[in-house]
Structure 1
Amino acid sequence: MGDLIVQARWVVTGIQDRHTPVVIEDGAVLSRGGVVAAAGTLDEMKRLAPLASVRSYPDHVMLPGFVNSHHHVGLTPLQLGSPDHALELWFASRMPARRIDLYLDTLYSAFEMISSGITTVQHIHGWMQGGYDAVHGAASKVLGAYRDLGMRASYCYAVREQNRLVYEADEAFCERLPKPLGSDLLKYLKSQALPFEDFLTLFDQLTRENEGQRLTRIQLAPANLHWCTDEGLLALNEKSKAAGVPMHMHLLETAYQKEYAMRRTGKTAVRHLHDLGLLGPRMTLGHGVWLTEEDIDITADTGTCICHNCSSNFRLRSGIAPLNFFEKKGVTVGMGLDEAGINDDRDMLQEMRLALRVHRTPGMEDDVPTCPQVLRMATESGARTTAFGEQIGRLDPGRFFDAVLINWKTATYPFQDPDIPMLDAVIQRAKTSAVDAVYIDGELVYAEGRFTRIDRDQVLAEIAEILSRPRTPDEVARRDLGNAVFPHVKSFYDGYIREEEAKPFYGQSAMF
């Protein structure tokens, strides 16, 4: 891979603070071997590398590639038949989902991510049936899809030891169900179970197989407090420290999870994890909607990261995370699209605007999100939640050259007043139609609506053909099982939490 200079009208190398982007006008980035060697003016880069190839984007804004810090599947749950129920009901409604080859499934959402400027994804995998060999095979397909497309991925397989459907032991819940529903459900849940040691073996095997790969890395994921035992959490923490990899853990996504933690531990979930020694810069908490003020202080004091999943929280009625208070306390907050964004796709430009708007609390103080802040969430802060850390997220020397080029004219046509800062206009107005080029690891992987490595139309046609076939007997059986168990899941949560406990802490300083 030779020297490459990419020039743009504006180059945003990163964010200095929540109000200030670092911008080079008529700038350029020199990439050597897929790594940023320098950033400055075009003449400066040419003097540093006179033999480099030059690609010019004179009407464009170059931004660091976006990081989707929380992602699970390709085709969305809605596409596969699951409406946007509250999270705990949604688990049951997803049981009947059609099966699709995971290589194709991964490509489907990766196409959407890259075309909106996402260059790195935190892929949190799980819910597989069939034992260790099936899980390892599934993980290999996911990782292979990202490598073949040229996308960067931080992969983890979510550890679930218990409570796979509701917030109590599988056996206890199934025992109360009518016959044969209870035994059928228990058999289904057991088909997803792995011995705990297999989770550690899977991490070790995937890590070995990933050696020498530039685009993919392997990390760990205790799925959630209700899905893990304390013994499992401690073992994963030790593995994380020994291997030097981060962890990503769903936590306090809903009020029901807040109540579960109090019933199980007599304290908040965050306090419990802190007492176990799990919190710190290696840990990212996914969602974090129902943190208390003390929880946020603990998160900030320990350097623990949070991934904000704005669309998902809305769609599944989980609540609104206290983003303004996170920022006030200095918490590192990434941005994730989870299963899908507000428009049932993976559009990071749109997700940034959603986060920008949702947290505009009443009042006139400077405590609402800014455009540089949400870009930092979608780049540098998101990078810190992945196994790539400070090697991505900015266009600084020594970091991988992952960048998105946004066409200023397309984004702002027919007019944009110059008094509005350039970055503010881009964040608030650019759509995916303005994404003209995406570079990952110094390679142009997306240009003018087409992917350079894989034919998107062919992949989508293959998915359409597969899913046009009738349901298999297994799919029919799972649909019947999911429909039958759904009302029992709802009954389980009736009265689970008291009304006064269903009020989140938003950290709002001014309300009308």
Structure 2
Amino acid sequence: MVSSLIRSKLVITRALDRHTVEIVEGGAVYQRDGVIVEIGDAGDLAARYPVDEVLGSPHHVVMPGFVNSHHHVGLTPLQLGAVDDALETWWISRLGKRKVDLYLDTLYSAFELVESGVTTVQHLHNRLGGTVEQMAAAANRVIDAYGAVGMRVSYSHSVRDQNRISYMADEEYIARLPDDVGALLGPVLRAQSIPLEDNIALFEALHDQHRNSERVRIQLAPSNLHWCSDKALELVRDCALRHQVPMHMHLLETVYQKEYAKQRSGGSPLRYLHDLGMLGPLMTIGHGVWFTEADIELAAETGTMICHNASSNLRLRDGIAPLNAFEAGGVKVAIGIDEAGINDDRDMLQEMRLVLNLHREPGMHDRVPTAGQVLRMATEHGAQTTPFGASIGTLEPGKAADMVLFDWRTIAYPYLDEEVPVLEAVLRRARSRDVDTVIVAGEPILRDGRFTRIDKKAVLHELASALAVPRDGDEQAQLDLARRLKPHAASFYDADPQHGCSCCRPFYHMNARQ
């Protein structure tokens, strides 16, 4: 047995509600074999439990490890040449990205996640292709990278079988293009075409392979309503129910997706999914920017969760999700950094701070996010969007010993009034530099700011060296295609549905023209 005592200035075990967090001052966490046994007074626990290792100190704040509930890639799209744009044309820019080794790429973002206190990530893998065996090998390159760092990962590949480039059938879209551009795009889209049965077979293979893994889970990701036929949605639904695994689905990210859903379903896409039997505690909606009041009521009624991706929504002109309405309606909300945060990195502390400040409606009322609420989003609620939900997200006996230790001395330096609540100080002031230790299943995977399992500097050097060479012929051809396709892609959206659209009556009154 391996045991340790994690000492602290105080232990923040969980958020009880918007305004109340559970705190043990002068506390410690005793864990054995990766599971929390007891939380209590540090002196008392030290006297009663002989341990193999003591971590932390009276200068540390201990909190549950964070969960990034929506993540895709390592090197950011901007690093790979896709400058921020409207989502629908930004997709086109991404066609021109470099080929990057999946293992090194995943390690790059894993470093940033762990350094900001993330212990669990939900990895949504886009654009797989090939045979089931080839896709499984690619998936395991990603999974192995998280294992090399020591993180938990809930992995899923994105299921899509239609409308890969826009909100219409691929063949119809290609027919609208000049012949020379369409001839280049066709093979690219066909290479991304995977038989629906192969999508399910891939899930089954990965799920069986990792069923006994402590830190790996496999779940399902129907990509989005416009990307999935009814047959695809039904197959994913049946698979999720059969294996009792969660689903994570992008939905209502932009107003164009809302218009598409109206045309396809005649109303709310959330109601459409409900009628297909897909809503409930197994479903998390990624984004949900354009939810209506009725959608929020339906999500709350069914126990459907939402993952709020604040940075991504701002960067890609999606809009601002009505977080305050979600909270008031009783919907559980998690936090995702998506492709990259507002600073083009994967800093969970920065993302939490953005969420805390983005939704501060003017006025003398309580319609603002609170520190307790944001902590719960980044921990307990995030955990519940993954198959790890019952074992992580809070610090309590019987749960996994996943936690992050902050150095209070650097957070409070050179001065911090003693009246400031500690959680407020952490969420508003802490940076990655203040993350001292990150523990997963009782194992310090980051200690004194250094990774314990892997040489970060060597990995980054290898990644930089691999990309220091010029683009090869295939990469250049993809870039040329993206450049030629983008003007035609933008013209598809000239009839902007936002002009005069009743669906755009906002939840927030943020300013005034007169």
- Range into which the TM-score falls when normalised by the shorter chain: over 0.9
**AA matched with 1:182:** G
Does 2:354 match 1:354? yes
Match of 2:165 in 1: 165
Check conservation: 1:363, 1:511, Cα contact below 8 A. Answer: no
Residue identity opposite 2:93 in structure 1:
S
Aligned match of 1:452 = 452
Return closer, same or farther for 1:461/1:335 CA change in 2, 3 Å cut-off: same
CA distance in 1, matches of 2:63, 2:504: 34
For residues 313 and 95 of structure 1, do their structure 2 counterparts lie closer, same or farther at Cα, with a shift above 3 Å needed? same
**Cα distance in 1 for residues equivalent to 2:504 and 2:424:** 30
Q: Which range moved further: 317-326 or 172-181?
A: 172-181
Matched letter for residue 415 of structure 2: F
> Which amino acid is 1:4 matched to?
S
- Mapped partners of 1:360, 1:496: distance in 2: 29
Q: 1:262 to 1:4 in 2, by over 3 A?
A: same
- Residue in 2 that maps onto 1:245: 245
* Shift, 1:449, TM fit: 2.2
Q: Residue 144 and residue 473 in structure 1: after superposition, are their counterparts in 2 closer, same or farther (change >3 A)?
A: same
- Give the structure 2 partner of residue 204 of structure 1: 204
Please state how far the C-alpha of 1:506 moved relative to its aligned partner: 4.6
Residue 3 of structure 2 is matched in structure 1 by 3
Aligned-pair CA distance for 1:503:
5.1
In the alignment, what sits opposite 1:463? 463
**What CA distance in whole angstroms lies between the structure 2 residues aligned with 1:483 and 1:55?**
53
Residues 361-380 of structure 1: CA distance to partner in whole angstroms, max 9, x if unpaired?
A: 11111110011110110000
Per-residue Cα deviation, 1:146-168 (whole angstroms, up to 9, x for no partner): 11110010000010110001010
Structure 1 residue 450, shift from structure 2 partner: 1.2
Deviation of the 1:428 alpha carbon: 0.5
- Residue aligned with 1:180, SS: helix
The residue identity in structure 1 corresponding to 2:158 is: A
2:317 is matched with 317
1:134 correspondence with 2:134: yes
Task: Assess, with a 3 A threshold, how the Cα gap between structure 1 residues 197 and 320 changes in structure 2: closer, same or farther.
Answer: same
1:413-446 CA-to-partner distances (Å, cap 9, x unmatched) read 1011111111111110111110000001110000
1:33 equivalent in structure 2:
33
After TM superposition, the structure 1 = structure 2 runs for residues 44-123 of structure 1, keeping only pairs within 5 Å, are: 44-123=44-123
Q: Answer yes or no: is 1:500 the counterpart of 2:500.
A: yes
The one-character-per-residue Cα deviations of 1:486-511 (angstroms, maximum 9, x if unpaired) are 11111111105251327546534897
> Displacement of 1:21 after TM fit?
0.8
Show CA shifts across 1:182-206 (max 9, x none).
1220110010110000010000000
Query: What SS does the corresponding residue of 1:286 show, helix, strand or coil?
Result: strand
Question: Equivalent residue of 1:92, what SS?
Answer: helix
Task: Quote the offset at 1:448 in angstroms.
Answer: 2.0
Q: How does 1:325-336 map to 2 (within 5 A)?
A: 325-336=325-336
Contact 2:129 2:194 in 1 (8 A): no
Question: RMSD over aligned Cα, in angstroms?
Answer: 1.4
Out of 247-256 and 494-503, give the one that drifted further: 494-503
Aligned residue identity for 2:412 = T
Offset at 1:49?
A: 2.3
Tell me the distance in 2 between the aligned counterparts of 1:137 and 1:192.
16
Residue correspondences, number? 512
Contact 2:305 2:331 in 1 (8 A): yes
CA gap 1:83/1:511 in 2 versus in 1, 3 angstroms:
closer
**Could you list the per-position Cα deviations for residues 158-183 of structure 1 after superposition, in whole angstroms to 9, with x for gaps in the alignment?**
10110001010000000121122112
Q: Please state how far the C-alpha of 1:132 moved relative to its aligned partner.
A: 3.0
Code of the aligned partner of 2:319: G
Specify the code of the residue in structure 2 equivalent to 1:421. Answer: P
Instruction: Tell me the amino acid that sits aligned with residue 257 of structure 1.
Output: Q
Q: Tell me the secondary structure at the aligned position of residue 325 of structure 2.
A: helix
In the alignment, the residues of structure 2 paired with residue 361 and residue 376 of structure 1 have an alpha-carbon distance, to the nearest angstrom, of 20
Residues 29 and 40, structure 2, Cα contact 8 Å, conserved in 1: yes
Relative to the length of structure 2, the TM-score reads 0.97
Asked if structure 1 preserves the Cα contact closer than 8 Å seen for 2:132 and 2:198, the reply is yes
Instruction: Give me the whole-angstrom Cα distance separating, in 2, the residues matched to 1:175 and 1:131.
Output: 28
| Identity fraction in percent | 52
- Compute the displacement of 1:271 (Å): 1.2
Matches of 1:501 and 1:232 in 2, distance apart? Answer: 30
Q: Could you say which residue in structure 2 is the equivalent of 1:12?
A: 12
Query: For the residues of structure 1 that align with 2:312 and 2:442, how far apart are their CA atoms?
Result: 32
Give the equivalent residue in structure 2 for 1:235: 235
Structure 1 gaps of 5+ residues are none
Is the 1:363–1:510 contact (alpha carbons within 8 Å) kept by the matching residues of 2?
no
- Is the contact between residue 436 and residue 449 of structure 1 (CA under 8 Å) also seen in structure 2? yes
Moved more, 90-99 or 417-426: 417-426
Partner of 1:154: 154
> What's the CA shift string for 1:109-131, capped at 9, x where partnerless?
00000000000000000112434
**Consecutive unaligned residues in structure 2, runs of 5 or more:** none
Contact 2:341 2:351 in 1 (8 A): yes
Structure 1 residues 448 and 439: CA distance shift in structure 2, 3 A: same
Show the counterpart of 1:345: 345
1:289-438 equivalent positions in 2, closer than 5 A: 289-438=289-438
Q: Is the 8 A contact 1:290 1:505 kept in 2?
A: no
> After the TM superposition, which of the residue ranges 38-47 and 138-147 deviates more from structure 2?
38-47
DSSP 3-state at the match of 1:17: coil
Which runs of structure 2 are paired with 1:254-293 in the superposition (5 Å)?
Answer: 254-293=254-293
Distance in structure 2 (CA, Å) of the matches to 1:232 and 1:504: 30
Who is 1:192 aligned against?
Answer: 192
CA 1:44/1:504 → structure 2, altered by over 3 Å: closer, same or farther? farther
Alpha-carbon distance in 2 for matches of 1:267, 1:170: 24
CA distance, structure 1, for counterparts of residue 387 and residue 506 of structure 2: 30
Alignment deviations for residues 248-279 of structure 1 (CA, whole Å, 9 cap, x no partner): 00000000000000011101111111111111
CA distance in 2, matches of 1:104, 1:180: 35
TM-score, normalized by length of structure 1? 0.98
User: Would the aligned equivalents of 1:29 and 1:36 in 2 still touch at CA under 8 Å?
Assistant: yes
What amino acid is the match of 2:308? H
Task: Label 1:281 to 1:506 Cα distance change in 2 as closer, same or farther (>3 A).
Answer: farther
Q: Per-residue deviation at 1:46?
A: 3.1
Per-residue CA distance 1:461-489 (angstroms, 9 max, x = gap): 01110111010100011001111111111
Partner SS, residue 346 of structure 1: coil
Alignment CA distance shift 1:502-1:450 (3 Å) = farther
Query: Match of 1:417, as an amino acid?
Result: D
C-alpha distance in structure 1 between counterparts of 2:334 and 2:314, whole Å: 17
CA distance in 2, matches of 1:352, 1:203: 31
Cα gap change, 1:349/1:172 in structure 2, threshold over 3 Å: closer, same or farther?
same
Equivalent position amino acid for 2:491 in 1: S
Alignment partner, residue 220 of structure 2: 220
Q: Using a 3 Å threshold, how does the CA distance of structure 1 residues 502 and 147 change in structure 2: closer, same or farther?
A: farther
Against the structure 1 CA distance between its residues 498 and 281, is the aligned structure 2 distance closer, same or farther, given a 3 Å change threshold?
A: same
CA offsets 1:194-233 (integer angstroms, 9 cap, x no match): 0000010000000111132111100000000000011211
Per the alignment, residue 182 of structure 1 pairs with 182
